[in-house]
Structure 1
């Protein structure tokens, strides 16, 4: 049995009639850019996550860029973020003219902590950009306390954690703004690129809306230098169909992770993800650690058996050539990059596939 790292087909098959009806209705409407379809989806996301505003943009990367720019981050500022993340988390900081600083991670959760964020702060620090990696949230209560103490803005990178709770609230509603991605592989995945900014701050939301549309709130009037970053109405229409199901899909991910834990928990060569210390883990990825330099050979053995896996991430962001001059030191992130391996994970995966992955991993070790 061939087992990919991710398979979106079960979601499509379950919702095919609704998705195709929504697409056909949108095509007939003639309103393909912003408009009522996007507004309905924005309102639905805001209600789902319990925040005042949701602003659709064309990617998770743009959600970060626009949220940072709207929060007043720019040249001369520094923003502290994680080195163990997709490149866009730091790239967005650079693209608004600021400088990223890198905070090392917790070795168990792979997340930054309030302590590591604070250690990376300088007098030039304007903001914090915690990344909720693999579906597990950073301790946002501690991050908020640090931000209040230092008067810093907090932009949450929620690209891998849509629908995860922390206490009674959802990630993306705990900082000044949250940046979400609807890339097809995400927990709420679209059919192309898409993103969203969430916030309770009315003024910040208004700036985000201006910035996504060339700094304009009415035709031929531009009060800011902005971007061309609008969520396509087609993506909004299709995501609207999927949104009511995301909580159930996240529970399926948690059940798959629990089965992996059971099948791999007694394997001394594998370190399974820990139980979430702060809120819930919704397993965008199920990522294990394989030490003693064996990770790459294990991945090759799995591949030879038709089992997909992925290394997120093989090189930490602070070691990318473009950021080498910053000379950041994050040894825990560097070690994680040499040991992590993400196993197949998707709603509808089924017990037989989970068992085959676990059996093949144990055999490879």
Structure 2
């Protein structure tokens, strides 16, 4: 059996002293909830994106929930998004009482097919929710034009696109608001759950701050609609502040790993990731395709290699969303991709020797199909 080492553990070993110092500094501060680390991270994270406001929350799903509420989305409304995404994108829409409306994705880059948006808009449409998937951005210029024509806000789902750029603009800086996740495997990951919303709109910022704190402005006084207990933890915020300073280094390393994959796997029979025009990809995951995907994965398991599929079940086909009424064939590109895509190991801490060993095993498996 071939043994490989990847994941966040190696990163932790490299950064352990700083991470433990971050934890200790918070514990010694006497401020464990909504203290200086959260405030500092909010300012620095928003500043990194060139946006004036940032609000730390407890996870990426609630970042979308709170952002939708701050944008006025609720019961009876519709939100247009994609089914080729992690379920939390759609769970968040359902959580505010709205109905998700799906458009298909483009086969070449797996991103929202913006050309289908206009025909999906109805009088109930209240928001457009593009997902910057796998590490690169949706084609925003035509989406922004559609949003302007119909008076609709754009909420960017940036859970997989920390640091990505689109025609020079940072993911998260192009919509009315943008939601981020800091789940440990993300490009910028915490050591537990965490999330944030950034926005250039001062009113959206104020609403978000109330919503994440029960709807309160002053302690014990809910001033408008009730909110949630959705605060970013002070310890995670301090860790994220320190990791934010290393984010550009993480991005450079991920691009190096992607370039090594592209060179080594050219002509292997895999469909390798395509970078959409104008995009700077950050490779949150390195997603490839093969018509015999399941055979490839089964053969890799014989070498003690288990790879992830993002995502094997499109949201519209899942039992929990059967009530939306999308039958098989409703989103043909999304459904086709679900049977072919899988992700290769991609962590900034992935050692070249481990990547080389994995590539050798993968090439051997592909050659034997």
* TM-score normalised per structure 1: 0.96
Query: Is 1:63 aligned with 2:63?
Result: yes
Residue segments in structure 1 that go unaligned for 5+ positions in a row = none
Residue 332 (structure 2) aligns with: 331
Kindly indicate whether the alpha-carbon contact (under 8 Å) linking 1:3 and 1:308 is maintained by their aligned counterparts in 2. Answer: no
The residue number in structure 2 matching 1:264 is 265
SS of alignment partner, residue 246 of structure 2? helix
Please name the residue that 1:280 is paired with. 280
SS at match of 1:192: coil
Match of 1:85 in 2: 85
After TM superposition, give the deviation of residue 308 of structure 1 in Å: 3.2
Deviates more, 1:96-105 or 1:25-34: 25-34
Q: Specify which of 271, 295, 298 is matched with residue 297 of structure 1.
A: 295
CA contact (8 A) 2:182 2:189 kept: yes
Residues 59 and 183, structure 1, Cα contact 8 Å, conserved in 2: yes
Number of the residue aligned with 2:249? 248
Question: 2:240 is matched with which residue?
Answer: 239
**TM-score of the superposed pair, with normalisation by structure 2:** 0.95
The residue number in structure 1 matching 2:316 is: 318
CA distance in 2, matches of 1:66, 1:141: 25
**Residue 90 of structure 1 contacts residue 100 of structure 1 at CA under 8 Å; is this kept in 2?**
yes
Query: RMSD of the alignment, in Å?
Result: 1.3
Provide the rounded CA distance (Å) in 2 between the counterparts of 1:43 and 1:54. Answer: 6
Q: Determine the C-alpha separation between the residues in 1 that align with 2:56 and 2:78.
A: 26
Q: Please give the alpha-carbon distance, in whole angstroms, between the structure 2 residues aligned to 1:312 and 1:168.
A: 27
In structure 2, the partner of 1:104 is 104
Q: CA deviation at 1:171?
A: 0.5
1:175-234 Cα offsets, whole Å, 9 max, x none, are 010000000000000000000000000001100000000000111221221011000000
Matched position secondary structure for 1:249: helix
Q: CA deviation at 1:347?
A: 1.0
- Asked if the contact 2:136/2:165 (under 8 Å) is kept, the reply is no
* Aligned partners of 2:8 and 2:349 also within 8 Å: no
User: What does 1:13-28 correspond to in 2, within 5 Å?
Assistant: 13-28=13-28
Q: Distance in 2 between matches of 1:327 and 1:261?
A: 39
Gaps of 5+ in 2: none
SS at match of 1:186: coil
